[in-house]
Amino acid sequence: MFGLHQRLERRTLALSLAIIVAASIGGLVEIAPLFTIHQTVEDAPDMRVYTPLELAGRNIYIREGCYACHSQMIRTLRDEVERYGPYSLAVESKYDHPMLWGSKRTGPDLARLGGKYSDAWHVAHLESPRAVVPESVMPAYRWLSRNPLRVSDLPAHLRAQKAVGVPYSDAMIAHAEQDAFGQSAPDSPQAAGVTARYGEATNLRAFDGRPDRLTEMDALVAYLQILGRLTDAAHRPVAAVAR
């Protein structure tokens, strides 16, 4: 084996060809499955996109490094399904750019977190984790309740997502700032536009308990409350979600 390698190193052309062959094999392994992706990704006609407020919360989740301790992918193992719920489907991550599947679980998996706890629980947990879960090792994120949410760049974020395939409409992009306010203030004039563009099932409420302000806490809790709820494909029989 080593003799063959030494002989290749002495022959530039042969070594170059060997490198090309090795790289081609690796590339083929990565690219070939994409030609059958339509057979492996489930169909989810009820799938909806993130609202501007939820997308802002996702950006905060990434900014604060939450993905380093929490995964968002339930594997097909029995103990995971019994603890967290139905295993994750590929289609559930179709609008996640970048994906946040993760692999390390210092904290629990969050793929099915949406609706599991109240908004007040999430706010209390983020502000003082050990007051809610005594054995928690999670740091506190008290500043999220104090920081006003920056909304001026939300249209740009939606345009960037649209560029990579997320079906945001021009109206969604144009009204991104108003929709962020409207989702956290259900009695405001902007709230009707949120449900018109994102559906009647959209969560409309003051996620941090204060409808008079829009904070980063609002955005993060809105994101946490939608995890696993963009589609109900994982809760339907396998035959019903297959193409």
- DSSP letters, 162-198, are HHTT----HHHHHTHHHHHHHHH-TTSTTHHHHHHHH
pLDDT value, residue 239: 53
pLDDT value, residue 166: 96
pLDDT value, residue 114: 96
Give the CA count within 13 Å in the CB-facing half-sphere of 233. Answer: 22
What is the pLDDT tens value at each position of the chain, 243 positions in all?
567 777 777 788 888 888 899 999 988 888 887 777 677 778 888 899 999 999 999 999 999 999 999 999 999 999 999 999 999 998 999 999 999 999 889 999 999 999 999 999 999 999 999 999 999 999 999 999 999 999 999 999 999 999 999 999 999 999 999 999 999 999 999 999 999 999 999 999 999 999 889 999 999 999 999 999 999 989 877 555 555
pLDDT value, residue 238: 59
* Cα–Cα distance measured from residue 57 to residue 59, given in angstroms and rounded to the nearest whole number: 5
DSSP letter for 41, please.
S
* Cα–Cα distance measured from residue 240 to residue 145, given in angstroms and rounded to the nearest whole number: 42
Residue 148 bridge partners (DSSP): 215
Q: Where are the alpha helices (DSSP H) in 11-134?
A: 12-31, 37-40, 52-63, 78-84, 119-127, 129-132
* Cα–Cα distance measured from residue 68 to residue 102, given in angstroms and rounded to the nearest whole number: 7
Report in angstroms the alpha-carbon separations of 181 from 11, 173, 230: 66, 14, 20
